[in-house]
């Protein structure tokens, strides 16, 4: 790889004509390689989204290699050239930042394995910050005091650890997205227990929540299921929401043990009654609403991030009443990972460059926001530390960020 890129580098510096001829050959070759190699696990055109900068195409390819993409060094160079030329980064709007009285500082740690794609962060009870290294097939643990990071490898290769939660005994639970499994890690022993989903169809286990009884609830987006896992028996029950292709996404439990999840394939919020396992859906007023994450405030009402429309919204399940607030960066802001800290809502905007951290106080309805150093993108989920700070996983920059909130 080094040899070839060195040669390409010399050609480019020695003259435009030579470089562009070499580039055209590589691109033709690159197209065939990409068509053959990049539509195996997914359709490439459904993944390229807003395109990538040359540097970030290298990061994406590194992630895909971790996930099992197998190309020779020469093929990789040609594929990269073609991807850079065909799917350049589309400009993203700058964020609209809102000033305010709250002070924060942000610190980031690089995941040790390049191309890990940290997906979910988790503020654990002992003060450490965990993340799912989705493409590296590890759970990572950051000690924010010492900066030490430990990676815990998982059993099934390429299981795609995605969602992340801690139970009351300190076990770390995750969804194994590509492995179609639920998993548990005991950090003291390193023991990894896997619970395969009882289905041969692609299920896409996604996000999870643990209720007051220790039952693990999870969403399976592509499979259109929500799941109930009893850790005592290991039994998994899969439930089907009434709406077809509803794409169950973020999931949370309220103070009474009712399980709420948001749907990314419809303008709906679902609720599971844990006793009857019956699912009720709440329809939101705007048919274009597509929700990715939610939080439940102390009054057991729902706040959601509407990524398509750039709003955050409030649903009172008792009355069905909905109120919505445009996120500071507007309709293209793409509100995404959301957490609740001292009954105040914190979330990320992922549609801007750089991405932002936003604070919204549901009592005063006042916003405040900050840019994420290094761009931050893409923050797909967030979490809270026991001392009330905000944790982010940045999948493309391969980082975990701690937002310390001055008290
Ligand atoms: C071994 C399976 C596999 C192969 C082969 C593969 N991918 Fe992926 N790709 C994934 C998975 C898993 C994801 C993440 C989950 C998802 O979006 O489905 C992903 C996501 C992506 C994303 C979105 C990245 C992000 O962080 O949002 C891009 C872009 C992408 N792939 C490009 C490629 C390209 C280009 C190739 C060929 C050079 C390729 N993939 C080959 C498995 C694969």
Atom 28 of ligand 1, nearest CA residue: 47
Tens of pLDDT, residue by residue over 295-324, are: 999 999 999 999 999 999 999 999 999 999
Max distance between CA atoms of the chain, in angstroms, equals 72
Q: Is 48 in the pocket of ligand 1 (CB under 6 A)?
A: yes
Q: Is 395 in the pocket of ligand 1 (CB under 6 A)?
A: yes
Between the CA of 154 and the centroid of ligand 1 the distance, in Å, is: 20
Q: Rounded to an integer, what distance in angstroms lies between the CA atom of residue 245 and that of residue 258?
A: 22
Q: Rounded to an integer, what distance in angstroms lies between the CA atom of residue 306 and that of residue 349?
A: 11
% pLDDT > 70, the chain = 93
Q: Is 69 in the pocket of ligand 1 (CB under 6 A)?
A: yes
pLDDT, mean over the chain: 93
Q: Give pLDDT, residue 39.
A: 97
Select from 222, 249, 248, 225 the least CA-distant residue to 237: 225
Torsion of CA 378, 69, 49, 217, to 10 degrees: -60
**Residue 244: is its pLDDT beyond 80?**
yes
Q: What is the mean pLDDT of residues 340-351?
A: 97
Of ligand 1's listed atoms, the one at least distance from the Cα of 48 is 29
Q: Rounded to an integer, what distance in angstroms lies between the CA atom of residue 373 and that of residue 352?
A: 13
Q: Is 160 in the pocket of ligand 1 (CB under 6 A)?
A: yes
The total number of residues written for the chain in this structure? 407
Between the CA of 275 and the centroid of ligand 1 the distance, in Å, is: 39
Q: Rounded to an integer, what distance in angstroms lies between the CA atom of residue 260 and that of residue 271?
A: 4
Between the CA of 138 and the centroid of ligand 1 the distance, in Å, is: 17
- Indicate the pLDDT class of residue 25, thresholds 50, 70 and 90: low
Select from 110, 121, 225 the least CA-distant residue to 165: 121
Q: Give pLDDT, residue 32.
A: 96
Q: Is 379 in the pocket of ligand 1 (CB under 6 A)?
A: no
Tens of pLDDT, residue by residue over 158-180, are: 999 999 999 999 999 999 999 99
8 Å CB contact between 258 and 296: no
Atom 40 of ligand 1, nearest CA residue: 38
- Indicate the pLDDT class of residue 287, thresholds 50, 70 and 90: very high
Q: Which of 54, 67, 119, 222 to mutate to test the pocket of ligand 1 (most atoms within 8 A of CB)?
A: 67
Between the CA of 244 and the centroid of ligand 1 the distance, in Å, is: 26
Atom 33 of ligand 1, nearest CA residue: 38
8 Å CB contact between 108 and 399: yes
Q: Rounded to an integer, what distance in angstroms lies between the CA atom of residue 173 and that of residue 139?
A: 10
Between the CA of 102 and the centroid of ligand 1 the distance, in Å, is: 38
Q: Rounded to an integer, what distance in angstroms lies between the CA atom of residue 385 and that of residue 145?
A: 13
Buried b (16+ CB within 10 A) or exposed e, 19-45: beeebeebbebbbebbeebbeeeeebe
Q: Is 60 in the pocket of ligand 1 (CB under 6 A)?
A: yes
What are the tokens at 231?
A: 């850790």
- Indicate the pLDDT class of residue 26, thresholds 50, 70 and 90: low
**Residue 7: is its pLDDT beyond 90?**
no
Contacts of residue 403, Cβ cutoff 8 Å, sequence gap at least 6: 104, 105, 106, 346, 357, 370, 389, 390, 391, 392
Between the CA of 104 and the centroid of ligand 1 the distance, in Å, is: 34
- Indicate the pLDDT class of residue 376, thresholds 50, 70 and 90: confident
Q: Rounded to an integer, what distance in angstroms lies between the CA atom of residue 29 and that of residue 24?
A: 9
Q: Rounded to an integer, what distance in angstroms lies between the CA atom of residue 218 and that of residue 253?
A: 11
Q: Give pLDDT, residue 377.
A: 76
- Indicate the pLDDT class of residue 19, thresholds 50, 70 and 90: very low
Q: Is 77 in the pocket of ligand 1 (CB under 6 A)?
A: no
Q: Give pLDDT, residue 375.
A: 84
């Amino acid at each position: 790889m080094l040899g070839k890129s060195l040669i390409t580098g010399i050609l480019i510096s020695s003259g435009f004509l030579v470089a562009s001829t070499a580039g055209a050959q590589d691109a033709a070759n690159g197209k065939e390689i990409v068509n053959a190699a990049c539509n195996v696990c997914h359709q490439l055109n459904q993944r390229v989204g807003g395109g990538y900068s040359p540097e970030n195409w290298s990061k994406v390819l590194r992630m895909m290699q971790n996930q099992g993409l197998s190309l020779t060094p020469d093929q990789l160079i040609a594929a990269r050239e073609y991807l850079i030329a065909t799917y350049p980064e589309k400009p993203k709007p700058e964020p609209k930042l809102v000033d305010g009285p709250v002070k924060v500082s942000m610190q980031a740690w690089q995941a040790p394995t390049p191309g890990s794609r940290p997906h979910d962060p988790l503020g654990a009870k002992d003060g450490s910050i965990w993340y799912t290294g989705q493409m590296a097939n590890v759970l990572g643990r950051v000690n924010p005091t010492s900066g030490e990071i430990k990676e815990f490898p998982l059993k099934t290769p390429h299981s795609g650890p995605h969602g992340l939660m801690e139970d009351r005994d300190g076990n770390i639970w995750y969804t194994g997205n590509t492995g179609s499994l639920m998993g548990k890690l005991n950090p003291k022993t390193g023991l990894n227990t896997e619970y395969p989903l009882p289905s041969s169809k692609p299920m896409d286990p996604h996000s999870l929540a643990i209720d007051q009884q220790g039952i693990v609830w999870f969403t399976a987006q592509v499979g259109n299921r929500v799941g109930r896992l009893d850790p005592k028996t290991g039994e998994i029950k899969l439930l089907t929401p009434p709406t077809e292709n509803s794409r169950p996404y973020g999931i949370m439990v309220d103070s009474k043990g009712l399980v709420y999840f948001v749907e990314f394939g419809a303008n709906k919020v679902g609720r599971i009654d844990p006793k009857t396992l019956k699912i009720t859906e709440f329809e939101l007023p705007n048919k274009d609403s597509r929700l990715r994450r939610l939080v439940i405030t102390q009054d057991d009402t729902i706040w959601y991030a509407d990524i398509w429309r750039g709003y955050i919204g409030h649903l009172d399940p008792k009355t069905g009443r909905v109120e919505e607030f445009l996120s500071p960066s507007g309709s293209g802001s793409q509100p995404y990972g959301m957490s609740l800290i001292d009954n105040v809502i914190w979330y990320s905007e992922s549609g801007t460059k750089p991405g932002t951290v936003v604070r919204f106080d549901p009592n005063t309805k006042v916003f405040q926001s900050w840019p994420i150093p290094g761009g931050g993108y893409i923050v797909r989920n967030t979490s809270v530390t026991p001392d009330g700070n905000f944790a982010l996983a940045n999948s493309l920059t391969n980082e975990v960020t701690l937002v310390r909130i001055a008290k």
